[in-house]
Amino acid sequence: MSFTTTIKEEIAKIKNTKSEMIAELSGFVRNNANYSDGILTLTSENITTINRIKTFFKDLYQVDLQENIISNLNFSKKKLYSLTITPSSTFFLQDLGYLDEQKQRLDSPPNYIVGANEEIRAYLRGVFLCVGSINDPKTSRYHMELLINSPTESVFVQKLLNIFDLNAKILTRDKGFMIYIKEAEKISDFIKILGANNAVMYFENVRIYHEQKNKTNRLNNCEQANIDRIVQTATLQLEQIRIIEDTSSIELLDDKTKEALEYRKKYPEASLKELAEIISLETGKTITKSGLNHRLRKIKELSERLQKKC
Protein backbone atom coordinates (compact mmCIF):
# COMPACT_ATOMS: atom_id res chain seq x y z
CA MET A 1 0.00 0.00 0.00
CA SER A 2 1.40 3.41 -0.98
CA PHE A 3 1.87 6.19 1.57
CA THR A 4 -0.83 8.22 -0.23
CA THR A 5 -3.30 5.34 0.07
CA THR A 6 -2.41 4.94 3.75
CA ILE A 7 -3.26 8.60 4.36
CA LYS A 8 -6.54 8.34 2.44
CA GLU A 9 -7.52 5.21 4.36
CA GLU A 10 -6.91 7.04 7.63
CA ILE A 11 -8.81 10.13 6.46
CA ALA A 12 -11.79 7.92 5.62
CA LYS A 13 -12.18 7.10 9.33
CA ILE A 14 -12.50 10.73 10.46
CA LYS A 15 -15.89 11.69 11.90
CA ASN A 16 -17.28 14.96 10.54
CA THR A 17 -19.90 17.45 11.66
CA LYS A 18 -22.58 18.29 9.10
CA SER A 19 -20.78 21.46 7.98
CA GLU A 20 -17.50 19.53 7.67
CA MET A 21 -19.26 16.83 5.62
CA ILE A 22 -20.55 19.51 3.23
CA ALA A 23 -17.08 21.09 2.97
CA GLU A 24 -15.30 17.77 2.36
CA LEU A 25 -17.90 16.68 -0.17
CA SER A 26 -17.61 20.07 -1.89
CA GLY A 27 -13.85 19.73 -2.19
CA PHE A 28 -14.25 16.25 -3.67
CA VAL A 29 -17.09 17.06 -6.08
CA ARG A 30 -15.59 20.32 -7.36
CA ASN A 31 -12.34 18.53 -8.25
CA ASN A 32 -13.67 15.19 -9.40
CA ALA A 33 -17.16 15.55 -10.85
CA ASN A 34 -18.12 14.91 -14.44
CA TYR A 35 -21.51 16.61 -14.85
CA SER A 36 -23.23 16.25 -18.20
CA ASP A 37 -26.90 16.15 -19.28
CA GLY A 38 -28.01 16.23 -15.67
CA ILE A 39 -25.91 13.21 -14.71
CA LEU A 40 -23.18 13.49 -12.10
CA THR A 41 -20.34 10.95 -12.11
CA LEU A 42 -17.63 10.66 -9.44
CA THR A 43 -14.68 8.26 -9.64
CA SER A 44 -11.85 6.98 -7.46
CA GLU A 45 -9.36 4.10 -7.39
CA ASN A 46 -9.93 3.84 -3.65
CA ILE A 47 -13.06 1.95 -2.63
CA THR A 48 -12.84 3.35 0.92
CA THR A 49 -13.01 6.88 -0.49
CA ILE A 50 -16.00 6.00 -2.67
CA ASN A 51 -17.81 4.48 0.32
CA ARG A 52 -17.15 7.62 2.38
CA ILE A 53 -18.48 9.90 -0.38
CA LYS A 54 -21.52 7.64 -0.84
CA THR A 55 -22.27 7.82 2.90
CA PHE A 56 -22.03 11.63 2.87
CA PHE A 57 -24.48 11.88 -0.04
CA LYS A 58 -26.98 9.59 1.63
CA ASP A 59 -26.71 11.29 5.04
CA LEU A 60 -26.92 14.84 3.66
CA TYR A 61 -29.21 14.60 0.62
CA GLN A 62 -30.83 11.13 0.55
CA VAL A 63 -30.06 10.77 -3.18
CA ASP A 64 -30.00 7.54 -5.15
CA LEU A 65 -26.55 6.47 -6.30
CA GLN A 66 -25.48 3.83 -8.76
CA GLU A 67 -22.16 2.14 -8.10
CA ASN A 68 -20.01 0.71 -10.89
CA ILE A 69 -16.54 -0.62 -11.58
CA ILE A 70 -15.26 0.81 -14.86
CA SER A 71 -12.19 0.40 -17.04
CA ASN A 72 -9.22 2.48 -15.90
CA LEU A 73 -8.05 4.43 -18.95
CA ASN A 74 -4.72 5.56 -17.45
CA PHE A 75 -3.14 2.09 -17.89
CA SER A 76 -3.25 1.47 -14.14
CA LYS A 77 -3.96 -2.07 -13.01
CA LYS A 78 -6.11 -0.73 -10.19
CA LYS A 79 -9.88 -0.87 -10.44
CA LEU A 80 -11.73 2.41 -10.92
CA TYR A 81 -14.89 2.79 -8.88
CA SER A 82 -17.65 5.21 -9.84
CA LEU A 83 -20.77 6.76 -8.36
CA THR A 84 -23.45 7.98 -10.74
CA ILE A 85 -26.28 10.28 -9.63
CA THR A 86 -29.19 11.37 -11.79
CA PRO A 87 -30.77 14.00 -9.57
CA SER A 88 -34.31 15.30 -10.08
CA SER A 89 -33.06 18.57 -8.60
CA THR A 90 -29.71 20.36 -8.65
CA PHE A 91 -30.23 21.65 -5.12
CA PHE A 92 -27.46 19.54 -3.60
CA LEU A 93 -24.99 20.65 -6.30
CA GLN A 94 -25.83 24.26 -5.44
CA ASP A 95 -25.53 23.47 -1.73
CA LEU A 96 -22.07 22.00 -2.34
CA GLY A 97 -20.93 25.10 -4.26
CA TYR A 98 -20.61 23.26 -7.55
CA LEU A 99 -23.41 24.97 -9.53
CA ASP A 100 -25.08 28.36 -9.22
CA GLU A 101 -28.84 28.91 -9.50
CA GLN A 102 -28.53 29.06 -13.30
CA LYS A 103 -26.86 25.63 -13.22
CA GLN A 104 -23.51 27.12 -14.26
CA ARG A 105 -20.21 25.86 -12.82
CA LEU A 106 -18.99 28.10 -9.99
CA ASP A 107 -15.35 29.26 -10.14
CA SER A 108 -15.07 28.97 -6.36
CA PRO A 109 -17.38 27.72 -3.61
CA PRO A 110 -19.49 30.12 -1.50
CA ASN A 111 -17.89 31.48 1.66
CA TYR A 112 -20.07 29.40 3.98
CA ILE A 113 -18.44 26.19 2.66
CA VAL A 114 -15.04 27.23 4.08
CA GLY A 115 -16.19 29.67 6.74
CA ALA A 116 -14.00 28.34 9.57
CA ASN A 117 -10.71 26.49 9.90
CA GLU A 118 -12.40 23.13 10.48
CA GLU A 119 -14.39 23.55 7.26
CA ILE A 120 -11.21 24.56 5.40
CA ARG A 121 -9.47 21.42 6.67
CA ALA A 122 -12.45 19.34 5.56
CA TYR A 123 -12.48 20.95 2.10
CA LEU A 124 -8.75 20.18 1.72
CA ARG A 125 -9.45 16.58 2.75
CA GLY A 126 -11.99 16.32 -0.04
CA VAL A 127 -9.53 17.77 -2.56
CA PHE A 128 -6.74 15.45 -1.41
CA LEU A 129 -8.97 12.37 -1.56
CA CYS A 130 -9.52 12.81 -5.29
CA VAL A 131 -6.43 14.60 -6.67
CA GLY A 132 -3.73 14.42 -3.98
CA SER A 133 -0.55 12.42 -3.49
CA ILE A 134 2.40 12.48 -1.09
CA ASN A 135 5.71 10.67 -1.59
CA ASP A 136 6.68 8.16 1.05
CA PRO A 137 9.31 9.98 3.19
CA LYS A 138 11.58 6.94 2.77
CA THR A 139 12.12 8.02 -0.85
CA SER A 140 14.89 10.39 -1.85
CA ARG A 141 12.69 13.50 -2.04
CA TYR A 142 9.81 15.06 -0.15
CA HIS A 143 6.88 15.98 -2.37
CA MET A 144 3.15 16.68 -2.00
CA GLU A 145 0.98 17.58 -4.97
CA LEU A 146 -2.62 18.25 -5.92
CA LEU A 147 -3.45 18.05 -9.64
CA ILE A 148 -6.35 20.40 -10.41
CA ASN A 149 -8.01 21.10 -13.76
CA SER A 150 -9.41 24.57 -13.18
CA PRO A 151 -7.07 27.59 -12.91
CA THR A 152 -9.43 29.44 -10.55
CA GLU A 153 -9.88 26.36 -8.37
CA SER A 154 -6.11 25.83 -8.19
CA VAL A 155 -5.57 29.41 -6.99
CA PHE A 156 -8.42 29.02 -4.50
CA VAL A 157 -6.96 25.79 -3.06
CA GLN A 158 -3.48 27.33 -2.92
CA LYS A 159 -4.88 30.21 -0.86
CA LEU A 160 -6.56 27.75 1.53
CA LEU A 161 -3.27 25.89 1.99
CA ASN A 162 -1.35 29.07 2.62
CA ILE A 163 -3.77 30.15 5.33
CA PHE A 164 -1.82 27.53 7.30
CA ASP A 165 1.53 28.95 6.13
CA LEU A 166 2.37 25.89 4.00
CA ASN A 167 4.21 27.81 1.26
CA ALA A 168 2.23 25.96 -1.47
CA LYS A 169 3.14 26.84 -5.05
CA ILE A 170 1.54 26.27 -8.47
CA LEU A 171 3.00 24.93 -11.71
CA THR A 172 1.17 24.77 -15.04
CA ARG A 173 0.93 21.28 -16.50
CA ASP A 174 -0.33 20.00 -19.87
CA LYS A 175 -3.56 18.76 -18.32
CA GLY A 176 -4.10 21.29 -15.57
CA PHE A 177 -2.30 22.83 -12.62
CA MET A 178 -0.10 21.23 -9.99
CA ILE A 179 -0.13 22.68 -6.49
CA TYR A 180 2.92 21.37 -4.66
CA ILE A 181 4.87 21.50 -1.39
CA LYS A 182 8.47 20.27 -1.17
CA GLU A 183 9.51 21.26 2.37
CA ALA A 184 9.39 18.23 4.67
CA GLU A 185 8.19 20.23 7.66
CA LYS A 186 5.37 21.83 5.65
CA ILE A 187 4.28 18.46 4.22
CA SER A 188 4.12 17.10 7.76
CA ASP A 189 1.96 20.09 8.75
CA PHE A 190 -0.34 19.42 5.77
CA ILE A 191 -0.84 15.77 6.80
CA LYS A 192 -1.66 17.04 10.28
CA ILE A 193 -4.21 19.46 8.79
CA LEU A 194 -5.85 16.54 6.95
CA GLY A 195 -6.24 14.81 10.31
CA ALA A 196 -4.12 11.72 9.51
CA ASN A 197 -2.29 11.62 12.84
CA ASN A 198 -0.81 8.13 12.44
CA ALA A 199 0.62 9.13 9.06
CA VAL A 200 2.11 12.25 10.70
CA MET A 201 3.91 10.11 13.27
CA TYR A 202 5.30 7.82 10.57
CA PHE A 203 6.37 10.77 8.42
CA GLU A 204 8.07 12.54 11.35
CA ASN A 205 9.90 9.40 12.49
CA VAL A 206 11.33 8.84 9.01
CA ARG A 207 12.14 12.55 8.59
CA ILE A 208 13.99 12.67 11.93
CA TYR A 209 15.92 9.51 10.98
CA HIS A 210 16.96 11.09 7.66
CA GLU A 211 18.02 14.32 9.36
CA GLN A 212 20.06 12.45 11.98
CA LYS A 213 21.67 10.29 9.28
CA ASN A 214 22.54 13.36 7.20
CA LYS A 215 23.96 15.09 10.28
CA THR A 216 26.11 12.04 11.05
CA ASN A 217 27.32 11.92 7.45
CA ARG A 218 28.22 15.62 7.56
CA LEU A 219 30.15 15.11 10.81
CA ASN A 220 31.95 12.10 9.36
CA ASN A 221 32.83 14.04 6.23
CA CYS A 222 34.06 16.94 8.35
CA GLU A 223 36.12 14.58 10.51
CA GLN A 224 37.62 12.93 7.45
CA ALA A 225 38.47 16.34 5.99
CA ASN A 226 40.23 17.26 9.25
CA ILE A 227 42.19 14.00 9.18
CA ASP A 228 43.20 14.63 5.58
CA ARG A 229 44.41 18.12 6.50
CA ILE A 230 46.41 16.78 9.47
CA VAL A 231 48.06 14.10 7.32
CA GLN A 232 48.83 16.62 4.58
CA THR A 233 50.37 19.09 7.04
CA ALA A 234 52.40 16.41 8.83
CA THR A 235 53.69 15.02 5.51
CA LEU A 236 54.86 18.48 4.48
CA GLN A 237 56.59 18.99 7.85
CA LEU A 238 58.35 15.62 7.54
CA GLU A 239 59.57 16.64 4.08
CA GLN A 240 60.94 19.89 5.55
CA ILE A 241 62.72 17.88 8.25
CA ARG A 242 64.21 15.57 5.61
CA ILE A 243 65.67 18.59 3.77
CA ILE A 244 67.27 19.83 6.99
CA GLU A 245 68.69 16.41 7.84
CA ASP A 246 69.99 15.76 4.31
CA THR A 247 71.95 19.01 4.44
CA SER A 248 73.24 18.33 7.98
CA SER A 249 71.69 21.57 9.15
CA ILE A 250 69.93 20.47 12.35
CA GLU A 251 72.52 22.34 14.43
CA LEU A 252 71.18 25.60 12.98
CA LEU A 253 68.05 25.10 15.07
CA ASP A 254 67.73 25.99 18.77
CA ASP A 255 67.19 23.23 21.32
CA LYS A 256 63.40 23.75 21.64
CA THR A 257 62.96 23.59 17.88
CA LYS A 258 65.14 20.47 17.69
CA GLU A 259 62.86 18.93 20.29
CA ALA A 260 59.80 19.76 18.19
CA LEU A 261 61.54 18.24 15.16
CA GLU A 262 62.22 14.95 16.99
CA TYR A 263 58.65 14.70 18.29
CA ARG A 264 57.20 15.34 14.83
CA LYS A 265 59.29 12.46 13.48
CA LYS A 266 58.25 10.26 16.41
CA TYR A 267 54.51 11.02 16.07
CA PRO A 268 53.95 11.74 12.35
CA GLU A 269 50.15 11.26 12.48
CA ALA A 270 49.45 13.49 15.50
CA SER A 271 47.60 16.77 15.07
CA LEU A 272 49.23 19.98 16.27
CA LYS A 273 47.12 19.95 19.41
CA GLU A 274 47.83 16.28 20.11
CA LEU A 275 51.55 16.75 19.54
CA ALA A 276 51.67 19.70 21.97
CA GLU A 277 49.93 17.58 24.62
CA ILE A 278 52.34 14.67 24.04
CA ILE A 279 55.43 16.91 24.38
CA SER A 280 54.03 18.52 27.54
CA LEU A 281 53.29 15.11 29.06
CA GLU A 282 56.58 13.42 28.16
CA THR A 283 58.93 16.33 28.94
CA GLY A 284 57.06 17.79 31.89
CA LYS A 285 57.37 21.20 30.22
CA THR A 286 54.10 22.74 29.12
CA ILE A 287 53.89 23.85 25.51
CA THR A 288 50.82 25.30 23.86
CA LYS A 289 49.52 24.58 20.39
CA SER A 290 50.54 28.11 19.41
CA GLY A 291 54.06 27.66 20.85
CA LEU A 292 54.55 24.39 18.99
CA ASN A 293 53.34 25.97 15.77
CA HIS A 294 55.95 28.70 16.22
CA ARG A 295 58.75 26.08 16.46
CA LEU A 296 57.48 24.15 13.43
CA ARG A 297 57.38 27.41 11.49
CA LYS A 298 61.12 27.82 12.21
CA ILE A 299 61.71 24.37 10.70
CA LYS A 300 59.73 25.41 7.62
CA GLU A 301 61.67 28.68 7.23
CA LEU A 302 65.05 26.91 7.54
CA SER A 303 64.08 24.26 4.97
CA GLU A 304 62.98 26.98 2.53
CA ARG A 305 66.28 28.82 2.92
CA LEU A 306 68.22 25.61 2.36
CA GLN A 307 66.21 24.85 -0.79
CA LYS A 308 67.00 28.28 -2.23
CA LYS A 309 70.73 27.67 -1.71
CA CYS A 310 70.45 24.42 -3.60
The CATH number that applies at residue 91 is: 3.10.28.10
What is the enclosing helix (H) or strand (E) of 34? Answer: strand 34-36
Reported as a single tens digit per residue, the pLDDT across 45-97 is 999 999 999 999 999 988 888 888 876 665 556 788 989 988 767 888 999 99
Q: Are residues 191 and 244 in the same domain?
A: no
Query: Considering the entire predicted model, what is its pTM?
Result: 0.70
Q: Are residues 38 and 184 in the same domain?
A: yes
Q: Are residues 177 and 282 in the same domain?
A: no
Q: Which pLDDT value is given to residue 119?
A: 96
Cα 113 to Cα 19: distance, rounded to the nearest angstrom: 7
Q: Are residues 142 and 280 in the same domain?
A: no
Question: Is residue 155 domain-resident?
Answer: yes
HSE toward the beta carbon, residue 188, CA cutoff 13 A: 13
Q: Are residues 42 and 164 in the same domain?
A: yes
Q: Are residues 53 and 146 in the same domain?
A: yes
CB atoms under 10 Å from CB of 307, counted, come to 11
Question: Is residue 202 domain-resident?
Answer: no
Q: Which pLDDT value is given to residue 246?
A: 85
Boundary residue ending a domain (195, 218, 246) = 195
Question: Is residue 201 domain-resident?
Answer: no
Residues 6+ apart with CB under 8 A from 250: 244, 258, 261
Structural domain span for residue 9 = 3-195
Q: Which pLDDT value is given to residue 75?
A: 55
pLDDT of residue 8 exceeding 60, the answer is yes
DSSP 8-state secondary structure symbol assigned to residue 269: T
Average pLDDT for residues 267-273, to the nearest whole number?
A: 85
Question: Is residue 206 domain-resident?
Answer: no
Tell me the pLDDT of the chain averaged across its residues: 88
Q: Are residues 48 and 172 in the same domain?
A: yes
- Count of domains observed in the chain: 2
Question: Is residue 205 domain-resident?
Answer: no
Q: Are residues 29 and 148 in the same domain?
A: yes
Residues 6+ apart with CB under 8 A from 26: 96, 97, 98, 109, 113, 123, 126
Reported as a single tens digit per residue, the pLDDT across 211-238 is 777 777 777 778 778 777 888 888 888 8
Question: Is residue 208 domain-resident?
Answer: no
Q: Are residues 119 and 258 in the same domain?
A: no
